[in-house]
């Protein structure tokens, strides 16, 4: 996925939204900036398929040698797929955060939160301020 076409949370998750069989499906991951800030990742906890999550709700956590950080869901939905393989290949998050490093896919149940998200330019600006 092209990072310039994604939407971002202030908490560094990205989402890509597409139409699938009449409903909107979002693919969620964390940004290259987030992975870089977290330093060496050691563990990730992801939810089970079927769980409903609200916009801004926690869907898991990622642990580095320095800290444990919650993962926040950009939009409300029901989880339809989880990238479980990534647990054993955390390096993928650093190598390819926007494609192979996706974390969850969810069927969006309320898209209102999408309008609050940052576009690429706004997110880059935030990262520059934080970095």
User: Which residues contact another protein by CB under 8 A?
Assistant: 43, 45, 63-68, 70
User: Nearer Cβ to another protein, position 10 or 40?
Assistant: 40
**Rounded least distance, CB 100 to another protein, Å:** 24
**Rounded least distance, CB 79 to another protein, Å:** 14
User: Nearer Cβ to another protein, position 64 or 124?
Assistant: 64
DSSP 65-125: SS-EEEEE-SSEEEEEEE-GGGGG-THHHHH-TTTTT--EEEEEEEGGGGGGSB-HHHHHH
**Rounded least distance, CB 48 to another protein, Å:** 9
User: Nearer Cβ to another protein, position 11 or 64?
Assistant: 64
Give the residue from 89, 57, 72 showing the smallest Cα distance to 8.
Answer: 72
């Amino acid at each position: 996925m092209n990072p310039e076409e994604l939407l971002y949370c202030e908490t560094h998750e990205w989402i890509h939204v597409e139409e699938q069989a009449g409903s909107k499906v979002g693919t969620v991951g964390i940004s290259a900036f987030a992975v870089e800030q977290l330093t060496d990742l050691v563990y990730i906890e992801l939810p089970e398929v079927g769980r409903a999550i609200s916009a801004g709700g926690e869907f898991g956590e990622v642990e580095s040698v320095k800290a444990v950080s919650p993962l926040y869901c950009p939009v409300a939905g029901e989880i339809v797929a989880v990238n479980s393989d990534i647990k054993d290949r955390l390096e993928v998050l650093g190598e390819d955060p926007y494609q192979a490093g996706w974390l969850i896919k969810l069927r969006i149940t309320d898209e209102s939160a999408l309008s609050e998200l940052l576009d690429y330019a706004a997110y880059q600006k935030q990262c520059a301020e934080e970095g």
